[in-house]
Structure 1
Amino acid sequence: MSRKVAVLAVPDGQLLDITGPFQCFASANEPAWNGAEPPYEPVVVSLAGGPLRTSSGLVIETRPLAELDGEEVDTLIVAGGIGTRRAMHDEAVIQAIRHWAARVRRLASVCTGAYLLAAAGLLDGKRVATHWWAADGLQRRFPQIRVEPEPIFIHDGGIWTSAGVTAGIDLSLALIQEDLGHDRAMAIARALVVFLKRPGDQAQFSAALEAQVSSDQDFTGLHAWVREHLAEDIKVERLARRVGMSERTFARAYAAKAGRTPARMVEALRLEAARRALETTDRPVKQVARECGFGDEERMRRAFQRRLGVCPLDYRMRFAAE
């Protein structure tokens, strides 16, 4: 039988928080899967039902949540967006989430939908993901939960929480993989033209994007050059020459603008390249270490343990494409 997946939206919700998961489950039903019975019945619901205006201004049609009372709902996904600021103080919304949390097999949130689950008391003592922008506020308001600002999604105690916007797609693909297997989830990712099915422990920001947004345009070209020369010996003095500064001036200016040392930036870019290689290729770990500039496997292992809490081989076993 098809599993009913309900995406709960609130007024002024984030459009992609709602439609991203919905489309993933809808894509799992497309005829390409050998004429098999559709595995999912996705539906968008709201407390009142009817037209619902999202934060982008686009209006979507929703079913009243109460209409599902006589139906069996497998998964409830609570979408986020700026509207959750009001919804978390709406007792009717919170009571409805509590009611359905006790009935569904699987409960999840996207972005600031975690605020609604937390307000319902469903995240106490759990590790929780949300949009990086909202992480500090969520932790302050609900000190009884453990907010982790970096992961794309987290599964803890039967509840899934994810970062914002497109991370809802990664979460949904993980839920589909749990139900239908790796091959089907990867096929759906390809159909959606998702560049890479990201593991939950992957950081919300790529190291390259983080370097770019945390400094300024003075160093954009430098970051691109580093990514193209990771296997080489990249010292601070070489970086300084690339931007036409003395070593001391460059080190001081970069740390002031980027919030970390040039050496930490280089290691972060190497680590990201190594993670991608371990996820998507079968090259030996020693070869990956050399190609990404770590020099040897032991040095890369120490970087993985320090930054990710796992050794490269274990990382590959957990996240490599089958």
Structure 2
Amino acid sequence: MNKNKTHHVAFLGFNRIQLLDLVGPLEALEIANNRIDGPGYQCFIVSEEDKFTSESRVKVASDYQFSNCPQVDTVFIAGGAGTREPTIRAPAQQWLKRNFDTFQRVVTVCTGVFMVADLPYLQGKEVVTHWAYADLLQKTYPQLRVNQERLYVKQDKFYSSAGILSGIDLALNIIEEDHDASVAVSTAQYLVTYLKRAGHQSQFSEPLKFQSSRNSHIDRMHQWLMDNYPQEVTVEQLAEHIGVSPRHLNRLVRTHFLMSASKYIEHIKLEQSKIYLSQKNIAVEKVADMVGFKSSDSFRRSFRRKYGIVPSTYQLRFSQ
């Protein structure tokens, strides 16, 4: 982005939109405008008609329609049920396809990625969406590489985020990218949010997933793993401990956490490793041993595969 010129940002509107996906990033950019020394963002809403209605039945008035939309540098595409309803999304898709090559940056929030998933530009690219729709996105558009873990991903000029509040995380990242960290920090402080959840962080936290299980086998499994994560643990050992077959354990874990039992064991260990890595004076090799990995190399590979960065980089960014 040229800091000496105003950046024109369009927010796509359509019926049955998830309103927070639109309003969250929009408010972040508008707040940033008050902290930017020089030209900032000119934000506006564009849609097919002059009004549209959100999933929560809030009526929103657009600034422009597709027929008279001014210059667009960045377009934000929110999620919502409308992204998956052909009659609603068709006009928006046509406008996006006509203008896609002229956009400097395309940003999808939550299921907004469904609006552009069939574009040749995204062939083979990594994208994210809300975890509840990740499987549907991958099955419907097998040419995409759907990451079910990350909060947001940048692929050239295309940015995608997991949804709702992560759209604000991505907006803060864009503000820092366009201007500097101080503007993003000040914006986050005004929003009373963290600056900033990195894109490689998980879509939902371990405690939240655990609290949502309400299953005695899952409860016992989770508690045992938390008490024994320094050990090397196999699926067979874990299944024996809670009194089920490995096959049944895999079925339980997949139902509750959308992953295999082996991936869940790894997940518990890696989430715990992030706590240790938040300390400056602890070696990565020591952390690997503390969370029960066979070697520091296997730990590094697993960590990078899950979070997109190596443990040493995570420690550098987040240690206190």
Fold-level similarity (TM above 0.5): yes
Q: Which residue in 1 is equivalent to 2:201?
A: 202
Q: Which residue in 1 is equivalent to 2:127?
A: 128
Q: How far is 1:115 from its partner?
A: 1.2
Q: Is the 8 A contact 1:115 1:138 kept in 2?
A: yes
Do residues 66 (structure 1) and 66 (structure 2) align? yes
Do residues 28 (structure 1) and 32 (structure 2) align? yes
**What CA RMSD, in Å, does the superposition of the two structures yield over aligned residues?**
3.7
Match of 1:258 among 253, 270, 283: 253
Q: How far is 1:286 from its partner?
A: 4.4
What secondary structure sits across from 1:98 in the alignment?
A: helix
Q: How far is 1:250 from its partner?
A: 6.8
Q: Is the 8 A contact 1:22 1:44 kept in 2?
A: no
Q: How does 1:139-218 map to 2 (within 5 A)?
A: 139-195=138-194, 197-214=196-213, 216=215
Q: Is the 8 A contact 1:5 1:75 kept in 2?
A: yes
Q: Is the 8 A contact 1:28 1:38 kept in 2?
A: no
Structure 1 residues 164 and 267 mapped into 2: Cα distance closer, same or farther (>3 Å)? same
Aligned-residue sequence identity (percent) comes to: 28
**CA distance in 1: counterparts of 2:182 and 2:289, whole angstroms:** 29
Q: Which amino acid aligns with 1:247?
A: H
Q: How does 1:299-318 map to 2 (within 5 A)?
A: 300-301=299-300, 303-305=302-304, 307-308=306-307, 310-316=309-315
Match of 1:249 among 243, 246, 250: 243
Q: Is the 8 A contact 2:78 2:111 kept in 1?
A: yes
Q: How far is 1:55 from its partner?
A: 0.3
Q: Which amino acid aligns with 1:147?
A: V
Q: How far is 1:290 from its partner?
A: 7.9
Q: How far is 1:306 from its partner?
A: 6.1
Q: Which residue in 2 is equivalent to 1:48?
A: 49
Q: How far is 1:14 from its partner?
A: 0.4
Q: Is the 8 A contact 1:24 1:173 kept in 2?
A: yes
**CA distance in 2: counterparts of 1:61 and 1:89, whole angstroms:** 17
**CA distance in 2: counterparts of 1:82 and 1:14, whole angstroms:** 8
Q: Give TM-score, length-normalised by structure 1.
A: 0.77
Structure 1 residues 79 and 264 mapped into 2: Cα distance closer, same or farther (>3 Å)? closer
Do residues 118 (structure 1) and 121 (structure 2) align? no
What secondary structure sits across from 2:97 in the alignment?
A: helix
Q: Which residue in 2 is equivalent to 1:284?
A: 282
Do residues 18 (structure 1) and 16 (structure 2) align? no
Q: How far is 1:57 from its partner?
A: 1.7
Q: Give TM-score, length-normalised by structure 2.
A: 0.78
